[in-house]
Amino acid sequence: MRSSPLSSTSPRSSSESETLTVHGYVRSVRKQKRIAFAVIGDGSTLSTVQAVLSPQLAEDLSTGAAVTVTGKWTPSPGGKQSHELQVEDIRVLGANDATTSPIQKKYQSAEYLRTIPHLRPRLPVNALLLRLRSLVTAQVTSYFAKNDFIQCHPPIITSSDCEGAGEVFTIEPAASDATPARVPGQSGQAKKLRDPFFGSPKYLTVSSQLHLEALAQSVDKVWTLSPTFRAEKSDTARHLSEFYMLEAEVAFVENLQDVMDVVEDMLRSVAQELQSSRVGQELLEARARDQGEEGTSVSHDTLAQRWQGLVDGPWPRIKYAEAIRHLKEATAQGKATFEFWPEHEDGLQTEHERYLAEHFGKGGPIFVTDYPRSMKPFYMLPSSPSGSDTVACFDLLVPEICELVGGSMREHRLPELQQSMADHGLPAAADSSAEASDGSLQWYLDLRRYGSVPHGGFGLGFDRLICYLSGVQNIRDVVAFPRYHKKCDC
Ligand X SMILES: NC(=O)C[C@H](N)C(=O)O
Q: Please report, as ranges, the residues that interact with ligand X according to CB under 6 A.
A: 162-163, 207, 209, 247, 406-407, 457-459
Of the pair 150, 311, the CB lying nearest ligand X is at: 150
Cβ contacts of residue 450 below 8 Å, gap of 6+? none
Nearest-approach distance from CB 358 to ligand X, in angstroms: 23
Helix axes 442-449, 414-423, angle to 10 degrees: 150
Nearest-approach distance from CB 465 to ligand X, in angstroms: 14
Of the pair 73, 367, the CB lying nearest ligand X is at: 367
Kindly report the CA angle at 223 between 221 and 224, in degrees rounded to 5? Answer: 160
Of the pair 223, 315, the CB lying nearest ligand X is at: 223
Nearest-approach distance from CB 221 to ligand X, in angstroms: 14
Nearest-approach distance from CB 219 to ligand X, in angstroms: 17
Nearest-approach distance from CB 457 to ligand X, in angstroms: 5
Of the pair 202, 464, the CB lying nearest ligand X is at: 464
Nearest-approach distance from CB 207 to ligand X, in angstroms: 4
Distance, C-alpha 229 to centroid of its chain: 13
Alpha carbon distance 384, 389 (integer Å): 9
> Helix H segments across 147-249?
209-219
Alpha carbon distance 383, 465 (integer Å): 28
* 278-292 exposure pattern, b = at least 16 Cβ within 10 A, e = fewer: ebbebbbebbeeeee
Of the pair 45, 208, the CB lying nearest ligand X is at: 208
* Residue (of 432, 439, 438, 434) closest to 414 by Cα position: 432
Alpha carbon distance 86, 420 (integer Å): 72
Nearest-approach distance from CB 437 to ligand X, in angstroms: 22
Helix (H, G, I), strand (E, B) or coil at 313: coil
Q: Which residue is nearest to ligand X (CB)?
A: 459
Of the pair 162, 267, the CB lying nearest ligand X is at: 162
Max Cα–Cα distance, the chain, nearest Å = 90
> Helix H segments across 431-485?
442-449, 462-470
Q: Which residues pair with 457 in a beta bridge?
A: 249, 408
Alpha carbon distance 2, 70 (integer Å): 9
Q: Which residues pair with 23 in a beta bridge?
A: 68
Nearest-approach distance from CB 409 to ligand X, in angstroms: 11
Helix (H, G, I), strand (E, B) or coil at 411: coil
Nearest-approach distance from CB 248 to ligand X, in angstroms: 8
Residue 384 falls in which region: left (phi positive, over 0), alpha (psi -120 to 50) or beta? beta
Of the pair 207, 418, the CB lying nearest ligand X is at: 207
Of the pair 12, 317, the CB lying nearest ligand X is at: 317
Of the pair 410, 448, the CB lying nearest ligand X is at: 410
